Amino acid sequence: MTRRRTAVLISGRGSNMAALLTAARDPAYPAEIALVLANRADAGGLALAAAAGVPTAVVESRPFRGDRAAHEAAVQAVLEAHDIGLLCLAGYMRLLTPFLVGRWAGRMLNIHPSLLPAFPGLDTHARALAAGVKLHGCTVHLVTEEMDAGPILAQAAVPVLPGDDAASLGARVLAQEHVIYPMALALVAGRAATPPAADVALSNPLPTPPSLPKPQSSSE
């Protein structure tokens, strides 16, 4: 099996990146994390990746302020140098331009901490609490030009519990992010993932459609 060479793009602590690294330790996992790239040298996830023996790169976005496409061109050059075939955004705090989105159409995934299309953008947990929703969660989707709006690959729902604040709700969601992101990457990289237990996550589409009973002939 050829494992898809995958880069994870981060800006911060990198817990989703770490979940992807863990999943990819299994030689049967269809993706190999071949690069972790950050747009800030102080992204905490870089040290985690380096400790795991994964190549890392930093393409600072600050010097490119005002010219997002030029920053993306520099990122693209690093991705090409590492022969990358799939991209996972994992807390990568950059709005992307058509330059990168177009080149990676169908091959760039993102994880978002809400049940899209509800609560695109920032501060999702506080907004979910303010809206009074009873279910919240996370979504892995393909990246398109519209922010947080591409085709949905996987979602996990969690309850909003009495007494929740944004931190407690966010922690409950994050635990599910770590479940569905490896599952969604496996789907895209070419292997039917094992669906997680129904009480912890919902996936859409289900990797294997349930077999339906054959219709009975009936005289009614």
For ligand GRF, the binding residue among 5, 13, 82, 103 (CB under 6 A) is: 13
Residue 62 assigned as binding residue: no
Please state the closest distance from residue 12 (CB atom) to ligand GRF, in A. Answer: 4
For ligand GRF, the binding residue among 111, 158, 189, 201 (CB under 6 A) is: 111
Residue 135 assigned as binding residue: no
- Classified as helix, coil or strand, 34 is strand
Q: What are 158's strand-pairing partners?
A: 136
Restricted to residues 66-85, the positions that interact with ligand GRF (CB under 6 A) are none
Judged by beta carbon, residue 73 or residue 133, the one nearer ligand GRF is 133
- Classified as helix, coil or strand, 171 is helix
Restricted to residues 176-195, the positions that interact with ligand GRF (CB under 6 A) are 177
**Interacting stretch for ligand GRF, rule CB under 6 A, among 22-30, 74-82, 111-119, 191-199?**
111-119
Dist CA 205 CA 61 (whole Å): 35
Dist CA 205 CA 144 (whole Å): 18
Query: Hey, CA dihedral for 152, 44, 175, 30, is it positive or negative?
Result: positive
Angle between helix axes 166-189 and 15-24 (nearest 10 degrees) is: 40
The number of residues making up the chain comes to 220
Dist CA 70 CA 95 (whole Å): 13
Restricted to residues 113-142, the positions that interact with ligand GRF (CB under 6 A) are 113, 138
For ligand GRF, the binding residue among 3, 14, 21, 36 (CB under 6 A) is: 14
- Classified as helix, coil or strand, 79 is helix
Known catalytic residue: 112? yes
**Active site residue: 71, 112, 125, 136, which one?**
112
**Binding region:** 14-16, 68, 93-96, 110
Residues with catalytic annotation? 112
**Residues found near ligand GRF in the complex (CB under 6 A):** 10, 12-17, 90-91, 111-113, 138, 174, 177
